[in-house]
Structure 1
Amino acid sequence: MNTPLTAVDRRTEIKAKHRQSIIDAASRIMRERQSSEFSVDDLALAANVSRRTIFNHFASLDDVIIEACGKELTRVVEHLASISPASGSAKVPIFDDLAQTFRQADLINAMVYLTKVLGSDDPRLTPRQAQMAGRAFTEINEHLGRELHGRHPDADPLEAGLLVSTMTNGLLVIYLHWISVCGAVDSPESRKLWSQLVDRLISSLRTGFGSH
């Protein structure tokens, strides 16, 4: 016979499994449709759960989409984290480490995907779209913050946090500018523009805004 603790553990395991199934199903739908436009019924069918189960875990469909969108960018975050600091025996300053990471990262595919999921190449995002975009960049911010702490354990936590947050918020700003100019397409021209925008962001952070 199961003990009360075992029963509680089992219920917790089932809840976690259902929640993950819902998120995975939302991610599959978004990848297939290249859109976040789908119904609760669509999601329930794809996740093999009831509508009630969905709302037991999430307050709204948008909450599911926001979390799934963040999970979809996990690969980008993992790629950023996997980029090694600049070579050489000398310890790399935390700013230079972060700057090199963003210069080397291929974010174009993620930016194109995010734009399609948001459903618009208009930089004037709706509140719903802004929340989704903000969550995606928050995901990058949180993961990179932990990675940089591991690389630079002696760095001041406040300084490191401010640096990462400023960089990722800057990425959100240049992302909105990028889609307004090139329509979020993957082309040599759009990649060149993105590279220029990242370089400008890094330069502004290094020398101060208004110095250009």
Structure 2
Amino acid sequence: MAPDGITVPPMGGANVRKKRRWRRSAHTPKEGARRTRNYWYTGYNFGYTSRMDFVIEIGRRQRKRQAMHQSLLDVAQRLFEEQGVSRTTVDDIAQAADVARTTVFNHFPSKEAIALELASDTMQHIAEQSQALLESGTAALEVLQCAARAVLDSAINQGELAAAVARELLQSDPDRAGRASELVPVKHIVEAILFQAREEDSLRTDVPVEIVAERFTGQVIQLVTQVGTCDASKLREHLSVCLDILFNGITERSN
């Protein structure tokens, strides 16, 4: 009897074994007559099939793949910090991780995809912090300033890695730009905050939130592409100007 909470799978399945048995005809002959007709039939010896071995094997494979995926990320991050993104190749990553080049491509379609995944944790943290501020009652436009400055500050700390990610976000290829936006959703964070600002009646009612979010996000990403080639204080100054222009354009004007 199965314990509560466990579903017992049906009998049979992959582990069914066939057994051949000899059986005489079911025909009952007249008294004194001989049984002359015999035939084979196939009987089935059913056994309990749980598929547990299959599930365990799949789990092992997934854990092994996840471990390799994380190992490649760790190796790539170290090389990016030591050599820079532009001077690091997929062959370098494969050699440092002691795997074949094809193994790297089995996990990441390109070197830039690795950079995007490394940056995704930072964006997740910024999104969570922004959500926490909104839930605490902080005004949405103030949260937007904090989020934009956090994006730029993290980019300055990441250096060339952030610039490479920004270039992926600005890709002319819509597929590449779309994949980058999924991993580093700057626009979605800005858009969500602006919608909250509208709920607070701090935005003009005629302002198209999606367009404003796209334009402002584009300005922030353009600033990030200059990380490493432009002084950090200049980048922060440019961001302050962008924020001032944004707020002057989207907030309700007093008479």
Q: TM-score, normalised by structure 1?
A: 0.61
The answer on whether the counterparts of 2:75 and 2:93 sit within 8 Å (CA) in structure 1 is yes
Structure 1 residues 51 and 100, CA gap change in structure 2 (3 angstroms): same
The answer on whether the counterparts of 2:133 and 2:143 sit within 8 Å (CA) in structure 1 is yes
The answer on whether the counterparts of 2:69 and 2:107 sit within 8 Å (CA) in structure 1 is yes
Residues 122-162 of structure 1 show CA distances to partners (whole Å, capped at 9, x for unaligned) of 9xx7759xx579826851348738x86xxx7xx8xxxxxx8
Task: Among all aligned residue pairs of Structure 1 and Structure 2, give the percentage whose two residues are the same amino acid.
Answer: 17
Backbone CA RMSD of aligned residues: 4.4
Runs of 4 or more off by more than 6 Å in structure 1? none
Q: Which runs of 5+ in 1 are unaligned?
A: 156-161, 208-212
SS of the residue corresponding to residue 231 of structure 2 reads: coil
Q: Given residue 72 of structure 1, which amino acid in structure 2 is its aligned partner?
A: A
Q: Given residue 14 of structure 1, which amino acid in structure 2 is its aligned partner?
A: K
Q: Which of 72, 79, 82 does residue 119 from structure 2 map onto?
A: 72
Residue 101 of structure 2 is aligned to residue 61 of structure 1: no
Bigger fraction of residues in strand: 2
Q: Given residue 97 of structure 2, which amino acid in structure 1 is its aligned partner?
A: A
Bigger fraction of residues in helix: 1
Residues 193-212 of structure 1 show CA distances to partners (whole Å, capped at 9, x for unaligned) of 211212323443446xxxxx
Q: Shift of the alpha carbon at 1:191?
A: 1.7
Greater C-alpha radius of gyration: 2
Q: Shift of the alpha carbon at 1:100?
A: 1.8
Residue 153 of structure 2 is aligned to residue 109 of structure 1: yes
Q: Which of 71, 88, 92 does residue 21 from structure 1 map onto?
A: 71
Distance 1:132 1:185 in 2: 27
Higher relative contact order (CA 8 A, sep 6+): 1
* 1:26-41 to 2 correspondences below 5 Å: 26-41=76-91
The answer on whether the counterparts of 1:103 and 1:198 sit within 8 Å (CA) in structure 2 is yes
Structure 1 residues 169 and 77, CA gap change in structure 2 (3 angstroms): farther
SS of the residue corresponding to residue 86 of structure 2 reads: coil
Q: TM-score, normalised by structure 2?
A: 0.52
State the partner residue of 1:185.
231
